[in-house]
Chains A and B, each alone.
Chain A
Amino acid sequence: MNNRDMSYEAVMSRKNEIMKASLGIDFDDFIHSPITFDYERMMGETGYTHDDIARIQHETKVGNTPLFELHNLTRAVRRISPPGKGARIFLKDEAANASGSFKARRASISAYEAAAKGYRGMIAATSGNYGAAVASQAVQRGLKAIVIQEVFDSRGVGQPEIIEKGRKCEAYGAEVLKLSVGPELFYLLLRTLEETHYFNASLYTPFGIRGVESLGLEIAQQVREECGQDPDVVVITHAGGGNLTGTARGLLAAGCDDTRIVACSVDLSGLHMASDRDFNRKSFTTGHTGFGVPFATWPDRVDVPRNAARSLRYMDEYQLVTQGEVFYVTELLTKIEGIERGPAGNTSLTAAITLARQMDQDQVVVVQETEYTGAGKHHNSQLSFARENGIEVRRGDPEESVPGQSIVIPERLEQVRGKVQDMERLRNSYLKNAANHHPVDQWDEIDISFLAADLKANEDWIRQRISTLGA
């Protein structure tokens, strides 16, 4: 420790120097303006080929997970679909990775990089599966791990799912800093990076996202082998955007140019993510709109100067599902497909049911992840906890549910419908955020070209929108 000012404001103001020291990436090198940077060059300069990534991941028990066809679920969906409809549903069983989720892919390259650069340990601020992934990958590379988690409210109460995630990190020998509710997680991350000189295993570095590309590549290869075609749709649970970005980049690298990339989040609208009161009134700790929407509409709100996870760059469609629908589908997967998997990973499976009903029977929809399950991390734990916290739990039409007040579990598969998020609204919201960071009258051609790429839109559309942004 030294005599530096450790107040909230002082530590936050040292953000850039701390980041540079803890990542070995000079982001200034890629930045053109407050909104624009050379994204592809930043991703490319990680220096890893897809073969390197596959080899590194194989060394630490990551990747090559099975792709299963869900025959019984597909049949069940066809029974409630119009004639000729009901696409084949496939599931990429990411629970088979070391630490039980796709997040191992995301941590693996960071751990390799940290060890190669001579760091003694790595740190991540996360309440998700990523903590266990960092801990598991770190131990395999001979590194120490610190995981900073938001765990409990001011009563000291935590959701069973988050408690379990903390347990898993400690099981792999990590130090777990367990915190009360608040965005100051980032402050403690900076402080701890400064104290330890460890590697910043942020979720949003180019290393993290490049590590997920292997997931898209494997899906392309496995679907081609199994079905003799490219996947028509890949559904991806969306929170911070890394899962979607990495998978989509992998699919594109494999040449799946026509595969539709569908994001899916649990609809938690109305609940405040930094609220001590709302914290335990939600039954999903990630994969929900509380992260999915803000991260899509302004990716650079994260713990690195520029975010490598940029979901709107790749997203074709965004499906919303209710908590009750996901719990129903999680139970259904167990009972008719004979596999138990954690609820958060089944968010995209829920949307896949809605999508498959609209698609032809010879089409292929891929649910691109599962996660492990067990005590705490189980839909029964979460529902039981919700009920103890005054949330109404009942069967009925999921449309009647109100996040934070009720969870309505469908009575029948037909009631699993989800709904579509308006993409135009998301793109407009992103542009408003961009205008707040960099006045529209200062946007140049490079900015417009970047925004078009970042929103999967064309430059003319961006120019048309400028007039409405107060230029």
Chain B
Amino acid sequence: MTKILAGTWVEVEKIILTPEERAPTLPEETKKVPYVLNVSGVLLEDAEVGSPARIRTMIGRELDGILKTVNPSYTHSFGTVVPELLDIGLGEDV
């Protein structure tokens, strides 16, 4: 496993509630999975992906979790074209 160096921007994951600990009234498919938190911050000590890690978040709080992602990035987009939208508002459509 590669060591990720302290100071790297990472995302950690933490189980907040196991299925047994979750709120009493939940739909079956929600009840059977854990309640999971992801949060990003700067890695405080060298760690490997999948191992325990400590981070400092954007506001300076220190949180623990399992190191999940290195350099977590936003890649959301406008999606692939939806042809059904293209002719709305053109010509006689209105």
Bound Cα distance A333, B26 (Å)? 39
In the complex, chain B residues whose CB is within 8 Å of the CB of A276: 27, 29-30, 33
- The verdict on A196 contacting B82 (CB below 8 Å), with A177-B37, A275-B30, A375-B76 known, is no
Residue in A closest to B30 when the chains form the complex, CB atoms: A276
CB distance from A186 to the nearest CB of B (A): 9
In the complex, A27→B85 CA distance in Å? 49
Q: How far is the CA of A385 from the CA of B93 in the complex (A)?
A: 26
Q: Are A376 and B59 in contact (CB under 8 A)?
A: no
- Decide yes or no: A393 and B84 within 8 Å by CB, A175-B59, A179-B16, A378-B78 being known contacts: yes
- Among B17, B61, B77, B94, point to the contact of A184 (Cβ < 8 A): B17
> For residues 57 through 74 of chain B, which have their beta carbon under 8 Å from a beta carbon of chain A?
57-61, 74
Q: Given the interface contacts A154-B33, A394-B84, does A175 sit within 8 Å of B61 by beta carbon?
A: yes
Nearest residue, chain B, Cβ from A332: B89
Q: Return the chain B residue nearest A145 by Cβ.
A: B59
User: In the bound complex, do residue A412 and residue B79 qualify as a contact, i.e. CB atoms below 8 Å apart?
Assistant: no
CB contact under 8 A between A144 and B59, given known A154-B33, A175-B39, A275-B30: yes
Q: Are B57 and A175 in contact (CB under 8 A)?
A: yes
Chain A hits for B60, CB < 8 A: 144
Complex alpha-carbon distance, A182 and B33, angstroms: 10
With A173-B58, A174-B58, A184-B17 given, is the CB distance from A413 to B77 under 8 Å? Answer: no
Interface size class of B (residues with CB under 8 A): 35 or more
The answer to whether A182 and B40 touch (CB under 8 A), given A167-B76, A328-B88, A335-B88, is no
Known: A144-B60, A332-B89, A334-B89. A182 touches B84 (CB 8 A): no
B80 touches A384 (CB 8 A): yes
Query: Are A167 and B58 interface neighbours, CB within 8 A?
Result: no
Tell me the complex Cα distance, A175–B35, Å.
Answer: 19
Q: For the A-B complex with A275-B30, A335-B90 known, give 9 more contacts whose Cβ atoms are closer than 8 Å.
A: A175-B57, A182-B26, A188-B16, A274-B27, A375-B77, A380-B78, A380-B85, A381-B76, A384-B79
Top 10 A-B residue pairs of the complex, sorted by shortest distance between their CB atoms:
A384-B79, A335-B89, A376-B76, A175-B57, A154-B33, A144-B59, A331-B88, A381-B79, A180-B36, A76-B94
Offer 12 A-B interface pairs, CB within 8 angstroms, sorted by A. A163-B76, A174-B59, A175-B61, A178-B37, A182-B22, A182-B26, A182-B30, A277-B27, A335-B89, A378-B79, A384-B81, A395-B84
Interface residues of A (CB under 8 A from B): 7-8, 76, 79, 121, 144-146, 151-152, 154, 160, 163-164, 167, 170, 173-184, 187-188, 196, 272, 274-277, 327-328, 331-332, 334-336, 375-376, 378-385, 387, 393-395, 409, 412-413
